[in-house]
Amino acid sequence: MKTYLPKIDKLNRTIDEQPRKWHMIDADGAVLGKVATTAADILRGKNKPTFTPHLDTGDFVVVINAEKVVLTGNKEKEKVMTSFSGWRGGQKQFVPADIRAKHPERLVERAVRGMIPRNRLGRQMIKKLKVYAGSEHPHKAQAPALLELA
């Protein structure tokens, strides 16, 4: 039995199957980790039988109501997140409450980014993630299918 490998064309969709689908996740009252794992699995294509680790076979994901995502326990005020610019003195530390106050969509983006590969393929996959703080999004023409989180 031969190993199946989907072929990718230049229009950013696979030849062997239909064009990429659009999925929508409503993060209102959902736990951040559950939203992030669901989005990362769809971006990578792990929900499809044609999943291939070294190819981008995933779909688009739209996350709405990112400002209403829930962190369990005391993570909202006690979890310390760090970023480093690479320059001397460029290390910054912050808590999720600070991020939620300024840019609530970055909580979801950061969580999903940590769950995909850290290479060219991962950078290509993260471009298919669209996160919005409120319930309005400009992707109504793509008719994204609403996903229910378990």
* Residue 78 maps to a domain: no
Who's near 63: CB < 8 A, 6+ residues apart? 24, 25, 27, 35, 39, 105, 108, 129, 130, 131, 132
Give the CATH number of the domain where residue 35 resides. 3.90.1180.10
Q: Which residues pair with 84 in a beta bridge?
A: 91
- Output the pLDDT for position 49: 85
Inside any domain, residue 67: yes
The length of the chain is 150
Please check whether residue 4 lies inside any domain of the structure: no
Contacts 24+ apart (CB under 8 A), 96-102: 96/71, 100/67, 100/76
Could you tell me if residue 60 is inside a domain?
Answer: yes
Which has the closest alpha carbon to 95: 115, 75, 114? 75
Residue 126 has pLDDT above 60, yes or no: yes
Confidence band of 18 (pLDDT split at 50, 70, 90): low
113 inside domain: yes
Q: Return the pLDDT at 93.
A: 97
Strands 22-26, 60-64: pairing kind: parallel
Mean pLDDT of all residues in the chain? 92
Cβ–Cβ < 8 Å for 108, 28: no
Helices 32-44 and 105-113: crossing angle in degrees, nearest 10, is 50
9 located within any domain: no
pLDDT value of position 11? 54
Report the range of poorest mean pLDDT among 11-15, 27-31, 55-59. Answer: 11-15
- Dihedral of the alpha carbons of 27, 107, 23, 130, in degrees to the nearest 10: 130
Tally of structural domains, the chain: 1
pTM for this one? 0.90
> Of 5-14, 96-105, 109-118, which range is least confident?
5-14
